[in-house]
Structure 1
């Protein structure tokens, strides 16, 4: 497969890129900054410099054309900038979906977030803005009949050493390592039965491949 990852220098994205490259897939990471190029090249991952906040659907369509799958792994960052939750977590995810449809790329894997059952519609708190952005992006992706989508909703992300075991599906809110999320995404990309599914993932006791297989 040729896989294009939006937010290609992110922690989950880089781990995912290494995993699927090792499995023989071709990966292109979309990055904003030229300084990120050496990291992706060290990972064995291709790259395309593109600012998702300063592009168009038409430009992004040409970037993803010919891909077998796209993964949305971009984010507005942890700096408390609520505006970027709208432009990246929502806007860029929507744009990637529209570009995938225009380019005829059916497979779309979305990194979203748990906690959407706790959304407060009138709150200006940054995390609430983030959750609403994720919800709206998820809804847009799921509304596209031309996409074979999967929405993965991790719990609280940590930088701990990956365990290789998770709990997926209808689970209570919890934490999960970024590495374990990357492993879940790698399995999802190989698993057609996850198409049309939205599921949560947290740390657990099932090996990742088994957990995804049993969805």
Structure 2
């Protein structure tokens, strides 16, 4: 059993990830700013540690990662219209997580991103969406250059539908939807597959089970 640090541990995908990690006999360590989340997250089987993604520095991230064997960056600034939080959470939070993992001696790092963020952003794109895409793009580029054992998962439009265990996972796919529950299952599955190190893949609903889709990447 390995402790897995989950940055953004109260996020909607992260909650599904905690459940998936417990099923694979890992201990999720949910890193959150608000201590009021503790009871809910412990109910999902997670250990809870406090971390403020925006206010804390890389040293605090390293301390929060103590005793963990891998890091999953699953945080996001959310659809609140706050452009600044796309930088401080989606980009800077990822950068501090990368540096924190280095300081803590953790090599394995899985990042939740978004489909299509490497594509050119049209000039007439809404400013908040542009900020989000650019933050995710730059965070992924930093992780690819980090020297860590990284995997980047880029899901399509997220839904709250029940898990299907029917996905498509490939370096590039047509945009589509995917339940958050299936995204959590994929994040947990790639952590346990060394053959996914160094891979950046898109994720949408499809016809393969999560296990088969991950095996096909190796």
Distance 1:63 1:121, change over 3 A: farther
User: Which stretch shows the higher mean deviation, 111-120 or 92-101?
Assistant: 111-120
Structure 1: where are the runs of 5+ without partners?
Answer: none
| Alpha-carbon contact 1:65-1:104 (below 8 Å) kept | no
TM-score w.r.t. length of structure 1: 0.96
Q: Hey, what's the Cα distance between the residues in 1 that align with 2:158 and 2:200?
A: 18
Q: Hey, what's the Cα distance between the residues in 1 that align with 2:24 and 2:165?
A: 17
Displaced runs of 4 or more, over 3 A = 120-124
| Alpha-carbon contact 1:123-1:129 (below 8 Å) kept | no
Q: Hey, what's the Cα distance between the residues in 2 that align with 1:14 and 1:2?
A: 15
| SS state at 1:184 partner | helix
Cα distance, 1:66 vs structure 2: 2.5
Q: Hey, what's the Cα distance between the residues in 1 that align with 2:87 and 2:123?
A: 14
| SS state at 1:206 partner | coil
Alignment pair present for 1:88 and 2:89? yes
TM-score w.r.t. length of structure 2: 0.95
Aligned length: 214
| SS state at 1:152 partner | strand
Cα distance, 1:115 vs structure 2: 2.0
Output the aligned Cα RMSD: 1.3
Cα distance, 1:209 vs structure 2: 0.6
Cα distance, 1:142 vs structure 2: 0.8
| Alpha-carbon contact 2:13-2:180 (below 8 Å) kept | yes
Q: What CA deviation, in whole Å up to 9, does each residue of 1:160-203 have, x standing for no partner?
A: 11111101112101111100101111110110000000000000
Equivalence for 2:47: 46
| SS state at 1:24 partner | coil
Q: What CA deviation, in whole Å up to 9, does each residue of 1:85-117 have, x standing for no partner?
A: 000011101110011011110000000001221
| Alpha-carbon contact 2:58-2:100 (below 8 Å) kept | yes
| Alpha-carbon contact 2:158-2:178 (below 8 Å) kept | yes
Cα distance, 1:69 vs structure 2: 0.3
Cα distance, 1:137 vs structure 2: 0.2
Counterparts of 1:1-215 in structure 2, within 5 Å, are 1-116=2-117, 117-120=119-122, 125-145=127-147, 147-169=148-170, 170-215=172-217
